[in-house]
Amino acid sequence: MVNKKKQHKQEQFYKQAKKEGYRARSAYKLIDIQNRFNIFKRSFYILDLGCAPGSWLQVAKKYTEDNLTKYEDQFYHRDHYKIMGIDVNKVSPIENIYIIQKDLTLPEVQEQIESYFQNKLDLILSDASIKKIGNKFTDHIKQLNLCYDILRIVKKNLKYKGNVVIKAFQGSDFEKLAIEMKKIFRFLKSYKPASSKKKSNEIFLIGLHKK
């Protein structure tokens, strides 16, 4: 157990996160996805579902603040940004980010999302994961059920041409989820970032340009 912990701490992305001030190595998954798919282009209103410990919120804030000056033109632009994070676990505060400690499936959470963003959500992110029990099939199905919960929020709240990033687990029913997402987005990509652990079966579905 001690050796595994030591190995984790010595790992490249863990060291990099500590050095650059990110709360977790998972920040580099989102940065990798951005570099590949440019999901933050003209994104000013962002929702992060399952946001603990907050590393994706940190990344989102960085890109969104950059967007305030980068996209100051005659096209879609805002002079402010709004970022909300939701998680059942406590997340330490981040300046200018609204964090809610609740289950994302609760009706009052939907009400808070609608009230905060007013149907102007540009991007929805989710690195949320179920608590694995070690049975690959069961974990896969439970994670997909979480993905469908997130998709319901996407359908209700993400604006036309908005983007989404959702973590899924590879398995027998993965293609069904992909088919469902293809109905919602013009483009759908699946991607495993370099910073994902090699043994992990996680894979991210990136939906671009909501129909």
pLDDT tens across 132-145, in order?
888 888 989 999 99
Q: Is 199 a catalytic residue?
A: no
Q: Of 29, 61, 82, 167, which one is the catalytic site residue?
A: 167
CA–CA separation, 124 and 145 (whole Å)? 17
Q: Where are the domains of the chain?
A: 26-210
* 23, amino acid identity: R
Determine contact, residues 173/144, Cβ cutoff 8 Å.
yes
Percentage of the residues of the chain whose pLDDT score is greater than 70: 92
Looking at the predicted structure, is the pLDDT value of residue 18 above 70?
Answer: no
Q: Write down the pLDDT at residue 21.
A: 63
CATH superfamily, with its number, for domain 26-210? Vaccinia Virus protein VP39 (3.40.50.150)
Buried b (16+ CB within 10 A) or exposed e, 106-136: eeebeebbeebbeeebbbbbbbbbbeeeeee
